[in-house]
Amino acid sequence: MSNTALPTRPSLEYLRKVAKDRLVELRRTHPDAQLADALRAVAQEYGFPSWRALKAEIDQRRSTSTERFFAACRQGDVEAIRALLANDPTLIALRDEEHNATGLHFAAAHVDAARVLIDAGADVNATGDVHDTGVIGWLTCSPPSGRIPQDALALLVERGARHHIFSAIAVGDLALIRTVIEEHPQELDRRLSRLDHGQTPLHFAITRKRLDILDLLIELGADVDGVDTNRQTAVEYATLRGDRDAAARLLAAGATKPAVRTEPASSNANGLAASVTKAIPILHAADIAATLRWYRSIGFAEVGRYPQDGSRVFWGMVKLGAAELMFDVRVPDAAGTTLLLVTERINDVYQFLKSRQMKTAGEPPRDDGHDRRVEFVEDLHEPVFGGLQFSVRDPNGYVLRFLQEADESETAMSR
């Protein structure tokens, strides 16, 4: 067994080529030699008993460097990115497993880090990520700080990034939106990914609370009856969110008025109460991992976190006796608190509240001041940890999140 050291950044492709060349040599003396024999011989030259063992070592090195690379991109660590690319230039084209995104997707908000990656060959128009918005969409549609970094956006555009309808809407530039549609009319029919409920441009404009953009999309010919993956038209979507102005504009443009289901009888509605098995407060926390460590230090048990792969944690849960708390960086209300209600009949609860909102959204305020409207914050969907959930907002601005848990073997939120 040789003591030849494996290079710092070994290439499986190169070693396979060496093995193929070695096979030619082996067959001169052993005509029956197979590629597996040559692969094993190459592995043994580097001190490994088999090709499988050699490959495992290379995969482990690649995994470690890959994790460090994506972490550096998320943090905008320019020096770390340069050092990692110097050791392994192939990192520039790799995708992370969770989001199928490149390093530039994550680093786009950090202008200096983005410049290093682009100079190293990163594709500014890389697509195929789970949100199906490309690098420019990651920067504009959900900027990490909540605001689009204009210097980073200018860099992407300068280096050839092309806007699509959703990035143009996110930027909020009416002239840009018009240009995108005039050059590529099919963009009006574009949809966001399943993770984003397959929203149409009209749905997205409603989400951004931009009536001027909604008007422009209607003017340019957007399908006012187009549906998202929840089978909701833009009118229904606006109505569920209590956006009367958006719904009125769409109806005036010829959108079909949503059918209103009969609201369940009060006895049936009251019967849904028995399906709610527990209530858990969800608190906003900027650093979930640090928060979980603190609660563990005072005696709480950590029940779950997501993700669990060492990347940034955005959800966590702890328990002390019968008390349970959740923490989420994405809590959608200004007060920083959401109440989770776990139910065994989420579809019934959803349809009950949806019927209430569709029936009352267009009603004028009652004389007694009682507002019966139910503003939806998020539609019924499957969250990343499994199950089904949707959220509504109460009159005080607090969010009620209803969840039907997945099977205990499939969810991190086991009881």
Residue 17 inside a domain? The answer is no
Question: What is the pLDDT at residue 391?
Answer: 92
Mean pLDDT rounded to a whole number for the chain: 86
- Tell me how far apart the alpha carbons of residues 215 and 243 are, in angstroms, rounded to a whole number: 14
More confident residue, 117 or 330: 117
Q: Is 203 exposed, middle or buried (0-12, 13-18, 19+ CB in 10 A)?
A: buried
Please check the confidence at residue 70 and state whether its pLDDT lies above 70.
yes
Q: What are phi and psi of 90, to 5 degrees?
A: -70, -15
Of 171-175, 230-234, 338-342, the one with minimum mean pLDDT is: 338-342
Asked whether residue 26 is domain-assigned, the answer is no
Question: Above 50 in pLDDT, residue 414?
Answer: no
If asked whether residues 184 and 108 sit together in one domain, one would say no
Task: Return the SS3 of 232.
Answer: coil
Q: Mark which of 252, 276, 306 sits at the end of a domain.
A: 252
Distances (CA, A) of 98 to 130, 140, 145, 227: 8, 20, 21, 27
Q: Do 273 and 194 have their domain in common?
A: no
Determine contact, residues 408/386, Cβ cutoff 8 Å: no
Asked whether residue 310 is domain-assigned, the answer is: yes
In this structure, the answer to whether residues 307 and 225 fall within a common structural domain is no
Residue 94 shares a structural domain with residue 111: yes
Of 103, 127, 162, which residue sits at a domain end? 162
Whether 28 is in a domain gets the answer: no
- Top mean pLDDT of 218-222, 260-264, 355-359 is at 218-222
Any idea what the CATH number is for the domain that residue 327 is in?
3.10.180.10
Q: Is residue 10 part of a domain?
A: no
Q: Does one domain contain both 326 and 359?
A: yes
List beta partners, residue 399.
338, 393
Question: Are 274 and 393 found together in one domain?
Answer: yes
Is residue 295 located within the same domain as residue 397? yes
* Mean pLDDT (whole number) for 174-196: 95
Both tokens assigned to 237: 């979507």
Q: For residues 136 and 123, is the Cβ–Cβ distance under 8 A? A: no
| Domain assignment present for 286 | yes
Our count of domains for the chain comes to 3
Cβ neighbourhood burial of 121 (10 Å; 0-12, 13-18, 19+): exposed
At 415 the pLDDT is 33
Q: Single out the residue of 386, 389, 376 nearest to residue 347, CA to CA.
A: 389
Residues 270 and 400 in one domain: yes
373 and 297 share one domain: yes
- Report pLDDT digits (tens) over 282-292: 888 888 898 99
Q: What is the pLDDT of residues 189-247, one digit of tens each?
A: 999 998 889 999 999 999 999 999 999 999 999 999 999 998 999 999 999 999 999 99
210 with 313, same domain: the answer is no
Q: Which domain holds residue 242?
A: 169-252
Q: Are residues 151 and 183 in the same domain?
A: no
Same domain, 109 and 66: yes
pLDDT of residue 130: 87
Asked whether residue 175 carries a pLDDT value surpassing 90, the answer given is: yes
Which pLDDT does position 409 carry in this prediction? 29
108 falls within a domain: yes
**Domain assignment present for 4:** no
Structural contact between residues 265 and 235, judged by C-beta atoms closer than 8 angstroms = no
Q: What Rg do the C-alpha atoms of the chain give, in angstroms? A: 27
Contacts of 75-84 with C-beta under 8 Å, sequence gap 24+, read 75/110, 76/107, 76/109, 76/110, 76/112, 76/113, 77/113, 78/110, 78/112, 78/113, 78/116, 81/107, 81/113, 81/116, 81/117, 82/116
* Residue 393 near residue 384, CB atoms below 8 Å: no
